[in-house]
Each structure stands twice: as C-alpha cells, then as structure tokens.
A = this chain, B = another copy of it.
C-alpha cells in the first residue's frame, strides 16, 4: 500500500533478451522511483508480462508525456500496455439482484476508502436495495429484466454504464445472464462472482449440484465475463470446508462468505491493474 501518488505500467510482449533492462532503463533515465515491480515469463506462450509502479513525483513529466515517451519503447518491444494514475479513481458500476452480502461488503469497503473508487451507480433487476444504496448517496437504477425485454433491458444497462462513464462493471451476485453483446462490448472490464469452484458446477444452482455430489469443500470464483457462460478468465478462487451435516441452505450460507471475500480480492487485483489477461488465462501480480 502506497499513500503517495504513483503511476502503474502494465505490459506484455514477446519474450526476448533485455526487456526489463529496456523498460527499467527508460524509467531510471528520467529518475523514476520504482516502488513495486513484478515480472513473469510464460515459457509456453513465449510471452513476457510485467507491472511496475512508479512514484509520480519522481518523474519530470506528467502522465500524458510519460505515455508519449514510453510509446517508443513499447513499440520497439511490440508491447500491449496500459498506464494508469493512482490519483484517477476508477469508476465501478455494481449490478445486484436480491442478495445482500456482496453489496454490503463492497459498500463497507467503499465507505471506509479501503476501495478507493467511485461508485457512480448501482443497477438492479429488483428494487430491494434502492433505499440502502441511496442512503449511501449513490444513484440506484431499477432495470427489470424479463424474458420479453432482455434486449431493451441490457441496452438500458449499457446506456447507464456509458452515462456513468464506468470503467468496470461488477456482477455482485447479479442473477441474470448478460446479453452476449454486452459481454463483447467490455472484454476484461466486467467481473462476475460465480458461486462454485469452477470448472466444477457450471450453470444454475451450483450448491445443489455440490450437495448432490457430496463434495467436502465448496468454493467461489471471480472471473471476467465472456459470452461463454462461466468460462471466462479466472481471477481468483477460494473454498470452504463443508460436511455431511450441511444442508444446501447451509452451503448457501457458507458460500456467501467465500463469495464476498473472493469478489473483493478479485476486484482489488483488477482495480490495481494487477490482472493481465492472456488468452483465457490471467497473470495476477498480487
């Protein structure tokens, strides 16, 4: 945790000799102070991944200038890269249905500034949490999704996300399957929490499936949403022990604790630009 303003550079490129030297050389040349840096070589993909935090006040230029200057380095290394500024709060739009646990958990973290984000609005297919959300001073949009209005419903969600200038959409136990067009529009920007340890128990009622199979641990998975249901790149997972004495209802209850913890961790990694997606897998620089 760094209290001072910093820039975060993430990048991936074909692996070769001298990548770190080139990038860190550029930073050092401008007296950039690196506060944290992580590197990973994927042998199979022959691809190199990195994430570097640089103290903003150590550099003689601003973010725009940094971006311009670095693009020459990035081009030479054939990089895909991003550069972000810790002073620019990410704008996170939360989608929720009728379950409270992830919503309370996220708002507690937001309220205490543990998650230093803006929540421009909460969108729900129910109005259950309208009062709770508005009490926090956050706009609440009730967008019902019915078998007949799916297309219009998701158009409205998209319109609200755009109007809110959202960076990230979080499905905080939003019990609807997003329209494929919506998934496709924001790849790597929509996070879901699935209530099973994927790839086990894909689809509906995973706790019922887990109960039927008699597993001894249940889990939750935070992943990026893609058009393939429950198949997107996994960001974070965790499990909790259950036994024969636990009913499906008990599993649902235990599961909530794992779901909110896994979503909070996955979201934090995402917001801090710690997650780099490659194919259907993630590099997570914790």
Contact = CB atoms under 8 A, between A and B. Distances in A.
B282 A214 contact: yes
Contact of A197 (B22, B27, B217): B217
Interface in A211-246: 213-217, 219, 233-239, 243-245
Q: How many copies altogether?
A: 4
A271 to B, nearest CB: 14
Contact of A284 (B17, B200, B243): B243
Interface in A269-286: 280-284, 286
A213 B234 contact: yes
A111 interface: yes
B247 A1 contact: yes
B244 A215 contact: no
A253 B198 CA distance: 22
Nearest to A134: B135
A214 B200 contact: no
Contacts of A20: 20, 24, 28, 34, 37
Contact of A105 (B1, B108, B215, B217): B108
Nearest to A280: B214
Interface in A20-35: 20-22, 24-25, 27-29, 31-35
A28 B16 CA distance: 10
A261 to B, nearest CB: 6
Contact of A101 (B43, B112, B237): B112
A215 B27 CA distance: 34
Given A105-B104, A108-B101, A112-B99, A17 B40 contact: no
Q: Which 9 A-B pairs have the closest CB atoms?
A: A21-B28, A214-B281, A104-B108, A18-B28, A20-B24, A21-B24, A244-B283, A216-B237, A1-B249
